[in-house]
Amino acid sequence: MAWENGSSGNGFEVPDVEIKFTKLFINGEFVDAVSGKTFETRDPRTGDVTARIAEGRKADIDLAVKAAREAFDNGPWPRMSGYERGRILHRFADLVERHVEELAVLDTIDAGKLFLMGKIMDIPGGVHLLRYYAGAADKIHGATLKMSQQMQGYTLKEPVGVVGHIVPWNYPTTMFFFKVSPALAAGCTMVVKPAEQTPLSALFYAHLAKEAGIPDGVLNVVPGFGPTAGAALASHMDVDKVSFTGSTEVGRLVMKAAADSNLKPVSLELGGKCPVIVFDDADVDMAVNLVNMAVYANKGEICAAGTRIYVQEGIYDAFVKKAVEAAKKSVVGDPFYPHVNQGPQVDKDQYEKVLKYIDIGKREGATLVAGGKPCGDKGYYIEPTIFTDVKDDMSIAQDEIFGPVMALMKFKTVEEAIQKANNTRYGLAAGIVTKNIDIANTVSRSIRAGTIWMNCYFAFDPDTPFGGYKNSGFGKDMGMDGLEKYLQTKTVVTPIYNSPWF
> Residues 25, 169, 351, 458: which binds ligand NAD (CB under 6 A)?
169
* 375 belongs to the catalytic site: no
Give min distance, CB of 44 to ligand NAD, in A: 14
Total number of residues that touch ligand NAD (CB under 6 A): 30
Give the burial class of 62: count Cβ atoms within 10 A of its Cβ; 0-12 exposed, 13-18 middle, 19 or more buried: middle
Question: What pairs with residue 333 in β-bridges?
Answer: 4
SS3 173: helix
> Which residue number, 293 or 303, has a Cβ lying nearer to ligand NAD?
303
> Which residue number, 279 or 296, has a Cβ lying nearer to ligand NAD?
296
> Residues 15, 76, 227, 365: which binds ligand NAD (CB under 6 A)?
227
> Which residue number, 82 or 246, has a Cβ lying nearer to ligand NAD?
246
> Residues 89, 400, 405, 433: which binds ligand NAD (CB under 6 A)?
400
Using rule CB under 6 A, residue 430 touches ligand NAD? no
CB 137 within 8 A of CB 185: yes
Residue type, 56: G
* 456 belongs to the catalytic site: no
- Which of these is catalytic: 269, 301, 383, 400? 269
> Which residue number, 182 or 272, has a Cβ lying nearer to ligand NAD?
272
DSSP sequence for 193-217:
E--TT--HHHHHHHHHHHHHTPPTT
> Residues 22, 50, 108, 170: which binds ligand NAD (CB under 6 A)?
170
Using rule CB under 6 A, residue 166 touches ligand NAD? yes
Using rule CB under 6 A, residue 226 touches ligand NAD? yes
Question: What pairs with residue 301 in β-bridges?
Answer: none
Q: Where does 268-412 have alpha helices with state H? A: 284-296, 313-329, 348-364, 395-398
Beta strands in 389-462 (DSSP E): 405-411, 426-427, 429-433, 451-454
Using rule CB under 6 A, residue 205 touches ligand NAD? no
Using rule CB under 6 A, residue 475 touches ligand NAD? no
- φ, ψ dihedrals at 25, nearest 5°: -110, 105
Q: How far out from the chain centre does Cα 38 lie? A: 25
Residue type, 99: H
Contact stretch for ligand NAD (CB under 6 A) within 40-48, 163-171, 381-389, 494-502: 163-171
Contact stretch for ligand NAD (CB under 6 A) within 69-77, 79-87, 168-176, 356-364: 168-176
> Residues 75, 126, 246, 344: which binds ligand NAD (CB under 6 A)?
246
> Residues 111, 167, 370, 421: which binds ligand NAD (CB under 6 A)?
167
CA within 13 Å, CB half, 182: 24
> Residues 247, 442, 446, 455: which binds ligand NAD (CB under 6 A)?
247
Q: Which residues contact 208 (CB under 8 A, 6 or more apart)?
A: 92, 95, 96, 99
CB 345 within 8 A of CB 310: no
Using rule CB under 6 A, residue 409 touches ligand NAD? no
Using rule CB under 6 A, residue 245 touches ligand NAD? yes
- Measured in Å, how far apart are the chain's first and last C-alpha atoms? 81
> Residues 137, 234, 282, 290: which binds ligand NAD (CB under 6 A)?
234
Residue closest to ligand NAD when measured from CB atoms: 226
DSSP sequence for 213-269:
TPPTTSEEE--B-IIIIIHHHHT-TT--EEEEES-HHHHHHHHHHHHHTT---EEEE
CB 405 within 8 A of CB 354: yes
CB 96 within 8 A of CB 126: yes
* Separation of alpha carbons 465 and 336, rounded Å: 31
> Residues 125, 161, 217, 272: which binds ligand NAD (CB under 6 A)?
272
**Per-residue contact string for residues 31-70; x = within reach of ligand NAD by CB under 6 A:** ----------------------------------------
* Separation of alpha carbons 89 and 398, rounded Å: 41
Contact stretch for ligand NAD (CB under 6 A) within 64-72, 102-110, 241-249, 382-390: 241-249
Using rule CB under 6 A, residue 269 touches ligand NAD? yes
* Separation of alpha carbons 470 and 272, rounded Å: 10
Give min distance, CB of 129 to ligand NAD, in A: 13
Using rule CB under 6 A, residue 230 touches ligand NAD? yes
Active site positions, annotated: 269, 303
Kindly list the residues in this chain that would bind ligand NAD in the complex (CB under 6 A): 166-170, 193, 195-196, 225-227, 230-231, 234, 245-247, 250, 253-254, 269-272, 303, 400, 402, 428, 468, 472
